[in-house]
Amino acid sequence: MAQTDALFGYRDSKRYLWSLASVLGFLPILAMWLYFQTGSEAVLWLSPVFFYVFIPLIEGLVGTDRSNPPREAIPALRDDTYYRWAAFSALPVCYLVWIMGAWFVSVAPLGLNGYIAITVANGLMGAGALNTAHEVGHRRDRTSINVARFLLCLCGMGHFRIEHNMGHHVQVATPEDSATAMMGESFYQFVLHELPGGIRRAWRIEKTRLGRKGKSAFSLENEVLVNTLITVGIYAALTIAFGLIVLPYLLAGALLSNLMLSSANYVEHYGLMREKRADGSYERVQPHHSWNANHVISNVLLFHLQRHSDHHAHAERPYQCLRHFDSSPQLPAGYFTMFMAAWNPPIWFRIMDPLVARQMNGDLTKAYIKPSRRAKLMKRYHNPEAALQAAE
């Protein structure tokens, strides 16, 4: 059966754009080549400038896409192997760029500016590896799990698949979730509990799982432990191959990748909270428990990460099938722009706090608020009567 017939006439307008994420992963290598051609360290900033200057600018021109695949087309769209391999292609690209970067800092006569530039560029590429690992790590087949594992290990985030799938997705938008940001909490405050909280939660989950089998947490069946050993092995091998000069590049690049993932976590559920039932359990995750963005460019480059509501409602649904919900709260810009806002707390609060209040119809008792800022935020934004009057 032809693809268009199997998809009931539906055509994915972004079908051949999904591979852009892997293609653009080569930008740091292009920057290295330009450096050898020109001798200018400024060209090594090509990748950061592209993603955090050019993309936000062009995204405003391209706009958004709220279209969804029809329900009847989803099974065939889900089973189309093109999308699977478009994501898998990130694995060789990321390792090639990471290793080329290690070689580059060991042979090029770089000053501090050049060393920082290539570290930042490859750290951003590592963030792309983590994003792809997030997508394929929700699949259950062994190939997908292994692709996710080695993408995560590249950046020292080997605990993420366990923590995210079995921790965050269970506790999202509750005070129990270290990866859900409170209204009034800055990105920097969030990171201080999100990063260590994720590691602790992943270890606890694996320890409990292995304990049920009568095995120690230090068993080689512990995915967190094994993945950490893989990361140490990769970094040790690159250090032996290229010298100690590569160690800051590896560690700082991994940290930056981790912080970019934390930026996504911060943005995705800021101030949103599930209601607690009388029996102490939380309501089922709904579309309004995640912030969404339908901006085309960043969605293509992030494998529809920004359609986060459907992702949480149907975690095993692949990126090409994720849908927009009118009921989900919408971000005013794509993730690359929103990340920059998040890194500047006054700007972030000015943009997002009114949106949280609007999402709650002025009733901030329904928001997840940082305790130390609760009184101030309630005084400023809590106004449920205004919402009732507007409805009348």
pLDDT digits (tens, 9 = 90+) for 331-349: 999 999 999 999 999 999 9
CA–CA separation, 178 vs 343, rounded Å? 19
- Cα 225 to chain centroid, rounded: 22
pLDDT at position 2 over 60: no
Q: Is residue 360 part of a domain?
A: no
Of 49-53, 56-60, 185-189, where does mean pLDDT reach its minimum? 56-60
Give phi and psi for 225, each to the nearest 5.
-65, -50
- Using a pLDDT cut of 70, give the percent of the chain over it: 96
3-state class (DSSP) for residue 35: helix
- Cα 6 to chain centroid, rounded: 31
Partners of 369 in beta bridges: 183
Q: How far is CA 22 from CA 17, 19, 27, 131, 164, in A?
A: 10, 6, 10, 12, 23
pLDDT recorded at residue 373? 97
Q: Is residue 352 part of a domain?
A: no
Whole-structure pTM value: 0.93
Q: Is residue 2 part of a domain?
A: no
DSSP-assigned states of every residue in 202-268: HHHHHHHHHHHTT--TTSTT-HHHHHHHHHHHHHHHHHHHH-TTHHHHHHHHHHHHHHHHHHHHHHH
pLDDT recorded at residue 1? 38
Q: How far is CA 48 from CA 62, 64, 162, 250, in A?
A: 20, 23, 30, 17
- Going by C-alpha positions, the residue among 316, 300, 246 that lies closest to residue 104 is 246
Query: How many CB atoms neighbour CB 71 within 10 A?
Result: 9
Q: Tell me the CB-side half-sphere exposure of residue 74, using CA atoms within 13 A.
A: 13
Q: Is residue 377 part of a domain?
A: no
Q: Is residue 77 part of a domain?
A: yes
Contacts 24+ apart (CB under 8 A), 347-352: 348/186, 348/187, 349/184, 352/183, 352/270, 352/271
Q: How many domains does the chain fold into?
A: 1
Q: Is residue 286 part of a domain?
A: yes
92-139: per-residue pLDDT in tens? Answer: 999 999 999 999 999 999 999 999 999 999 999 999 999 999 999 999
DSSP-assigned states of every residue in 279-318: TSPBPPP-GGGS-B--BHHHHHHTTTTT-HHHHHHSTTS-
- Using a pLDDT cut of 90, give the percent of the chain over it: 88
Contact 44, 118 (CB under 8 A): yes
pLDDT at position 4 over 50: no
- Going by C-alpha positions, the residue among 305, 267, 269 that lies closest to residue 287 is 269
> 315 falls in which pLDDT band (50, 70, 90)?
confident
Q: Is residue 379 part of a domain?
A: no
Write out the residue range of the structural domain in which residue 102 sits. 13-347
- Cα 361 to chain centroid, rounded: 28
- Rounded to the nearest integer, the mean pLDDT of the chain is 93
Q: Is residue 376 part of a domain?
A: no
Average pLDDT rounded to a whole number, residues 200-204: 97
343-367: per-residue pLDDT in tens? Answer: 999 999 999 999 999 999 999 999 9
Placement of tokens 């032809």 in the chain: 2
